[in-house]
Structure 1
């Protein structure tokens, strides 16, 4: 697994990969962790829930007490891996019938913070309760891997042979990653992922389908070309900056990521690869799309998106989970600069 990517005095923030990621549809009983909170937030002050130990989570349920004649209410939702650094997942409003669940990529969470409470009459909505969950059955564990190496290469293969990764250092040609994995069944998404602090991205430029992101059931309307988007972090329904920076982009040939530490270029040997950059903020439950762990992913299948009144799987065949069958392969080449 990549720990550090460096060349001379250039050090990328890319790390912790490649990791195989895939998700099954959410089914079965959810095992909740209750925050034990029933708080009147009339003061409008921030509320922090510190878990006993950092815990894998992917789902929060936040139950506001909508009083009579209150059409909408909202808050700002943040999570932290360490209780010090925070990421905003949501900062908007919902109606009482819009649901109280908030889904996000599976990750370890040490604390949850709620703030910026508001409702239609200018007062603060009472909080009835909050709880969290990790849907482990959706994210099966990948078997342990055996590692081998040579003069200019490093390889890893899972014990059951279902996934293989091989890094090859080829001088000025860059660092090449060959990977393959086997999957069978229906999955919301599948591919490989890396970590890269999202706030350290400055822009993304790519040769592929654009200029906008795509979903499994929203692939039409793009064109092959070279496209570029400056980083933005908008709240759906509250901000109107287009095209959005966070999302999945189709037909990847290459991408140049401008970051705080310099440009990183990644070339793909398979145009049937989707580039995933960051994670969009949570919106309505039907239009909040399941995203994999990490921040920079190269996917062979991506999720569909729903609408305000229907879930993705109810929008037609293309909105249902993708059916995986057999082996999937890819080659990526990482280089600093152009």
Structure 2
């Protein structure tokens, strides 16, 4: 029989080996967000806690707010492994993510759903995730070419007109100079007889103050985020609609391959938390910021029936041209099929998010409807 001393030594060695094994099973990943403040970095901290929870404490995140990679550097930095996870805004690099960006421009179609709840971003976040995971292998191939794996997305609150003069009729739009932050909104502006103006976000405040533009087509949280509440005198919700999307939480593909299946599943579950937190915060902030702007003296204007008709006609007219535009500019092959696959998802998700009243409920909805059904033995590994 072994001596007591030898037995104690063997137990100690076994315990040490177990501790060593557990330590080696734990990994810390660098998550670059690229925003100094706002919904994304606030949500990233909750996401980090969710990653730890859903991977059974085997994956930890270190969140870098702006300090590791900025928004313009995010895609290439993640591809090169300068970060392990990145909050990638795909519209910043249109040639790299053409299929996802084409789908993102379809958020304008949400304005045709006759939904006034302000939950368009929640609906689009779910629809876009389902589209990427189940309808768009080309989207995942685009991510793979950038050495990335898609794990979650969301959407902003609906875009509206933040103005320095009243806009409530189709005639008011004629000739109006509107700052448009994306191609879909620029095309809408032209269709309704306005003049789209392109400029960086940090120039909008001065442009509105100096009346270089009469309105900015923007989500309401930018009233505080860009301090536009100081120059906005009139707000027209309900037009043009659409949400900013294409904000994705992606993992470096080499890192993803090293994770176990349980860890990958946990990362997807945590991804629903990130997408839901960002999206729900936009929803809450939109209400808050409009109320604050009105309290400061801004006036709310509801678009009249003719303005809504003109706006919706412009959106409907734009959709058939989108596939041809992306085929010409980015060699997208199945544009018409992909657009046709996306449209029913928008209707489906508008209905699904109607009863949602918390970020936690939204994350659960995303998980149960879409993310839980992803095959982690295949996703990101092909």
TM-score > 0.5, shorter chain as reference: no
After TM superposition, the score normalised by the length of structure 1 is 0.27
| RCO comparison, higher one (Cα < 8 Å, 6+) | 2
Structure with max Cα Rg: 2
